Structure 1
Amino acid sequence: MESGTEVTCQYAGMEQTATYITERDGMAVIKLNSGYNIGVDPACLTVVAAPEMTETVGMTIEQNPSLPQLSIISTGGTIASRVDYRTGAVTSQFTADDIMRAIPGLADIARFRSEVLASILSENMTPAIWQTLATSICNEIKNGAEGVIVTHGTDTLAYSAAAVSFMLDTPAPVIFVGSQRSADRPSSDNVMNGLASAAAATSDLGEVAVVMHASTNDDTCAIHRGTRVRKMHTSRRDAFQSLGTAPIGSVAYPSLDVTLSKDAVRRRPDTEPVLSPKLEEKVGLSTFYPGMHPDLIHAFEGYRGLVVSGTGLGHTSAPVIEALRSLTDAGTVVAMTSQCLNGRVCDRVYDTGRDLLAAGVLEGDEMLPEVAYVKLMWVLGQTNDTEEAARLMTTPLRGEFGRCL
């Protein structure tokens, strides 16, 4: 039997429709409509239809020259993936033709060119790749792209969006998009997210944003500012949420109508992108917890920067305060954020907060801990002066404080 053949079989007392993958150890490996692979007796399979997908593999997609020019930069992830029926694996697609085959309807929105920047699990993302990514996006815009889509694994997508937000002052939409569920699952969000990202990339937006499902329904994608978004669930399709502020827009589905809020930065068609990609990698991020030993803070001695995720208004224990004081005395820039995620750090209310200020710790305002982390990397990449670094960290630059730009 050929891989990709649609079959039926009796399983768990019910008739199941599935896709034949291969035969192994005398058992037929099939993929159920739920997305799970199981092994069954080959004799129980009934052929329903021969595979159809082989006809389009490698086929060039005709692009309409009258449509806007977009660029797709791939870093990995499952947003543009398809099933390899020889193995049952989900494989990522990288070329423009691959992605347009994987997400039908893209060719009706724009013309596409593509670049494979990386093919990694998103937990393997690095500051060096962020720098290369920001540079590639800048070059694409300078070379005529009216918008850029970055496909990315979801686990560290928000870090990357924030990093690019600081490194690149963009006059055109830069849209980060991912998929919570792979293309072989009936509940996959890759097609809707992909189409919505293309619609957002051709809109009047002029900043870095993340486009993902707004709810568990297939009716709207939210447009989140790149410095105010966080992955809030391991697997839900609406895992990405704007914190401390509303999304800056939405994309209706299936109409793909884009609505932008009054706070969204608008496109500046006659402006060149400004790239400032230098990052300081000796920056740390630490979460305070009750009983935390000061030695964990002393481990950051020699670092140029440290972001602390404190409790409540931005607090730590007294022993940790003294450890932080030793860092600031040695020239390390230390910024305080809150584990609460919503609300502003204010170290002037309680004695603990005032002690932190006296120890030279900066208030991180409403910045999310991971956003403060990448901002501090960027700030220390721009200046060696600790006073200037402190000024930049306490100044809103890309909407990271949750207030209007």
Structure 2
Amino acid sequence: MLELKINEFYFGYYGMIADKLKEINAAPGDYISIKNGNKQFNGTLMPKNEFSKEDIIVLKLDNGYNIGVKINEKSEIQLLKKGQLTTHAGEPVKLVEKEITPPENKRILVLGTGGTIASRVDYETGAVKPYLDPNELVAAVPEVLNYTNIEAEEILSIFSEDMNPKYWDLITYNIFKKFNDYDGLIIAHGTDTMAYTASAVAFVFNKGLKGPIVFTGSQRSSDRPSSDSAFNIISSAIVASKAPFGEVCVVMHGETSDSYALAHRATKVRKMHTSRRDAFQSINDIPLAKIYPFEGKLEIINKSYKEKKDINPEFGFDDRVALIKYYPGMSNDIIDFLVDNKYHGIVIEGTGFGHISNRLIDSLERAYESEIPVVITSQTLFGRVNLNVYSTGRKMLQAGVIPGEDMLPETAYVKLSWVLSRTRNMNEIKNYMLTNLAGEINLRHELRLYPRWYHG
């Protein structure tokens, strides 16, 4: 049964205010009255943010505006109407208070790491900040309980721009420790670096997963009317409980409206727009599945998926890997700096087939002589690196670079980080990088893999 965790500071409030709210059993979403002498304020109790003073209660007035009301010992607070946590649209939802046995009695665990899906607008500063813990997030979307028994746990609470390889280790360890008790996992993650983390998990568990691991997030915070949080959580629950594959995937909107979601293979997905709800697209591959959350339907559209197997992890990431982008006029100093500072690996986004300037060949040779592998990917994203077409590419191969096939630059960076935690032997590194381990290399490209942009 889903149980909400009450913050030790009582939804951000503490001291005298927390005592007054507990006394009347008031929680965010409840409609309350605050009386200070001759002044009275009625509104919906909101969670307190860290920038509010400790003697302030935040109310959402009937006109939709948020205000801060100063509280003292003489303030009278009354509970006028019991409410619930709000949905992504800001409306009350009915929390589930009894045991539900969904079809097939599947068990899914949501692991929270932070990000916009577990965030709200800070009404004092106008910024988006972490707030919801996974339990509150699930409670705000009770529809997921139609598909599965779901539990939630927070392992991190950071924005995704603060993610790093050490956190990948933490996430993968938690997955391994907990997965055997569940049929599938959902990882709530910030969208900006979600593809990196999803790829990291895919490489750690490339030898086997007993069920789907679904990464999901939100382009808009959970308390905004246009939020995609609920849609994505429901879609993810369907994939986690119904998908036949043992793979890591990213589930997000398939288009801007709420018609369907897509499950993208973790190593082939990229965030391609800053704010659109369908920002995530499969690159050089087609999505694994299409999800219709309002029908509870899952449609497999890519038959080339990994079957479920016993979980078999290979942990570890090297955090001394750099991802850089070639640009016209780029100096040797950049590669030389990485070599001089003893980085263990370099991924370069080259132009077109993967080229960089002839002027940089000496630096590539220096990196190879220092046993620092250099992997080349393409800035075009679509298509495959081919260093055998032009003389520059052949010189790069002679300098010891590893062509990244059709891997995304971000995926190649994560893979090299993972490989370097296993071996520092240059031949073994090359073999690893050129071997398809988690669907990161697609040997056959079809015309339909390239998007048709708007032409008017």
Q: What range is the shorter-chain TM-score in?
A: 0.7 to 0.9
Unaligned runs of at least 5 residues, structure 1: 6-16, 26-48
- Contact map agreement 1:80 1:102 (CA 8 A) in 2: no
State percent identity of aligned pairs: 38
- Contact map agreement 1:307 1:334 (CA 8 A) in 2: yes
Indicate the SS of the match to 2:44: coil
- 1:189 maps onto 2:228 in alignment: yes
Cα deviation, 1:102-125, whole Å, max 9, x if unaligned, reads 213012221122221110010000
Equivalence for 1:386: 426
- 1:21 maps onto 2:66 in alignment: yes
- Contact map agreement 1:140 1:148 (CA 8 A) in 2: no
Deviation at 1:217, TM superposition (A): 1.1
| 1-structure distance, mates of 2:219, 2:203 | 26
Deviation at 1:229, TM superposition (A): 0.3
- Contact map agreement 1:70 1:147 (CA 8 A) in 2: yes
- Contact map agreement 2:84 2:95 (CA 8 A) in 1: no
Counterparts of 1:54-133 in structure 2, within 5 Å, are 61-65=97-101, 67-81=105-119, 92-96=131-135, 98-133=136-171
Mark the CA change 1:315 to 1:53 in structure 2 (over 3 Å): closer, same or farther.
same
| 2-structure distance, mates of 1:284, 1:95 | 33
Equivalence for 2:197: 160
Indicate the SS of the match to 1:325: helix
| 2-structure distance, mates of 1:18, 1:403 | 58
Indicate the SS of the match to 2:186: strand
Output the TM-score relative to the length of structure 2.
0.75
Indicate the SS of the match to 1:376: helix
- 1:360 maps onto 2:396 in alignment: no
Deviation at 1:63, TM superposition (A): 3.7
- 1:237 maps onto 2:277 in alignment: yes
Cα deviation, 1:283-308, whole Å, max 9, x if unaligned, reads 11110000001101111111221111
More strand by share: 1
- Contact map agreement 1:79 1:179 (CA 8 A) in 2: yes
Mark the CA change 1:327 to 1:53 in structure 2 (over 3 Å): closer, same or farther.
same
Unaligned runs of at least 5 residues, structure 2: 1-40, 46-61, 71-79, 87-91, 445-456
- Contact map agreement 1:163 1:374 (CA 8 A) in 2: yes
| 2-structure distance, mates of 1:83, 1:104 | 22
Q: 2:287 aligns with which of 247, 252, 256?
A: 247
- Contact map agreement 1:209 1:226 (CA 8 A) in 2: yes
- 1:399 maps onto 2:439 in alignment: yes
- Contact map agreement 1:69 1:111 (CA 8 A) in 2: yes
- Contact map agreement 1:4 1:50 (CA 8 A) in 2: no
Mark the CA change 1:57 to 1:186 in structure 2 (over 3 Å): closer, same or farther.
closer
- Contact map agreement 2:183 2:210 (CA 8 A) in 1: no
- Equivalent residue pairs, number: 368
Amino acid at match of 2:264: H
Equivalence for 1:52: 83
Cα deviation, 1:18-43, whole Å, max 9, x if unaligned, reads 42321589xxxxxxxxxxxxxxxxxx
Deviation at 1:312, TM superposition (A): 0.3
Higher mean alpha-carbon deviation, 64-73 vs 320-329, is at 64-73
- Contact map agreement 1:148 1:201 (CA 8 A) in 2: yes
| 1-structure distance, mates of 2:278, 2:415 | 26
Deviation at 1:138, TM superposition (A): 1.6
Mark the CA change 1:54 to 1:357 in structure 2 (over 3 Å): closer, same or farther.
closer
Indicate the SS of the match to 2:167: helix
Deviation at 1:132, TM superposition (A): 1.1
